Structure 1
Amino acid sequence: MAIRQVREIGDDILTKQCKDVPRMTLRTKILIGDMLETMYEYHGVGLAAPQVGVLKRIVVIDVGEGPIVLINPEIVETSGEQTGEEGCLSVPGKWGIVTRPNHVKVRALDQEMNPIELEGEGLLARAFCHEIDHLSGQLYVDKTEDGLHDVTYDNEEDEGEEETEE
């Protein structure tokens, strides 16, 4: 496996439609492994194939419950609403407020090309929507409610300061 270069906003590949994956090949298996390794290296919760320069309908997600691989995913049902901060490995150092469904049902193929159906709420629902949007050439930046903001880090913990409650 290898860490791949993450394409950044402004790269034309991020605006293109991806093609379905008709069958599993060694090349596709390697791509999936590389995508997972890249996502973990950059501390992301999801990564879509076009973000590493490949126009295939593949996404990987891990919201802390183990890796999910979706091939040819489609959203088949949504409900509820959530509004919150969203970022993207292809838009480094930025975040924006985006409203997404709070519950999402997805149909896809797994790594063995077997049909699967997954449901997610909260962060997982957000990740499903965000990554599947990438497969249609859409970035979250077009959905932000108040534009993009610079990521800032709270340094209090890094400086060794302790919080006390009175």
Structure 2
Amino acid sequence: MKFPIIAYGDPVLRKKATAIEPDEYPHIKELVANMFETMYGAHGVGLAAPQVGLSMRLFVVDAHAFSDDDADLKDFKKAFINAAILEETGEEWAFNEGCLSIPEIREDVYRKPVIRISYYDEDWKHHEETFKGMAARIIQHEYDHIEGKLFTDKLSPLRRRMLEKKLNDISRGIVDVDYKMKFPAIKKGR
């Protein structure tokens, strides 16, 4: 099942998501599968639960789209539950990022190239792993979502002001996308 993606401006995107327990969400595998389906339907490489209206510490990633540049990413598909970044190291590097909740806006964002992260997979197996390069970047972007942060927060104040009209248009539904979205500034019944 594909979920509508929550657009910029919705408070759920600014809320720090809460941890989940196995007994609280017995259908986690179904939710993970639906999130992957939603992400693929929107041509994304990552999707966090807040982006589908669920304030829980869950995100999915599939970096296959970058496998031409890095063969290790060919089968890099994972779900991250209750993730905690333990360490970020290295010299920050820029990459042009976008976001399914903020369509039609792409900006250079600086992030550290190596992360160490603790998380559970959809079988509730615990992992502590180190990721580098594009895998680390995608994880950091999605991790920001469960922390209530957006990639636009990493831009300079001047650049954010320059994007303000576009961001407001997105929250009002004035954007051209080929996937279903929910817009916070559009009232139900209209």
TM-score class, shorter-chain normalisation, is: 0.7 to 0.9
Distance in 2 between residues matched to 1:56 and 1:98, nearest whole Å: 25
Which aligned pairs between 1:100-111 and structure 2 lie closer than 5 A?
Answer: 100-111=111-122
Matched, 1:8 2:1: no
Matched, 1:93 2:93: no
Q: Which amino acid aligns with 1:115?
A: H
TM-score, structure 1 as length reference: 0.83
User: What whole-Å deviation, never above 9, does each CA across 1:39-87 have from its counterpart, x for those lacking one?
Assistant: 1111111100000000110010111123211100011111112111111
Distance in 1 between residues matched to 2:106 and 2:39, nearest whole Å: 17
1:53 is matched with: 53
2:177 is matched with: none
Q: Which runs of 5+ in 2 are unaligned?
A: 65-74, 167-190
Contact 2:28/2:122 (8 A) holds in 1: no
**Which is further off, 44-53 or 61-70?**
61-70
Distance in 1 between residues matched to 2:63 and 2:16, nearest whole Å: 25
Which aligned runs of 4 or more in structure 1 are off by greater than 6 angstroms? Answer: none
1:29 CA drift (Å): 2.2
Matched, 1:134 2:133: no
1:123 CA drift (Å): 1.2
1:118 CA drift (Å): 2.3
RMSD between aligned residues: 1.7
1:23 CA drift (Å): 0.9
1:162 is matched with: none
2:86 to 60, 76, 80: 76
Q: Which amino acid aligns with 2:77?
A: P
Contact 1:82/1:122 (8 A) holds in 2: no
Distance in 2 between residues matched to 1:8 and 1:70, nearest whole Å: 22
1:28 CA drift (Å): 2.3
Q: Which runs of 5+ in 1 are unaligned?
A: 151-166
Distance in 2 between residues matched to 1:107 and 1:76, nearest whole Å: 7
1:144 CA drift (Å): 2.0
Q: Which amino acid aligns with 1:134?
A: H
1:157 is matched with: none
1:119 CA drift (Å): 1.9
User: What whole-Å deviation, never above 9, does each CA across 1:99-127 have from its counterpart, x for those lacking one?
Assistant: 10111111101111111022221211111
Q: Which amino acid aligns with 1:131?
A: E
TM-score, structure 2 as length reference: 0.73
Contact 1:78/1:105 (8 A) holds in 2: yes
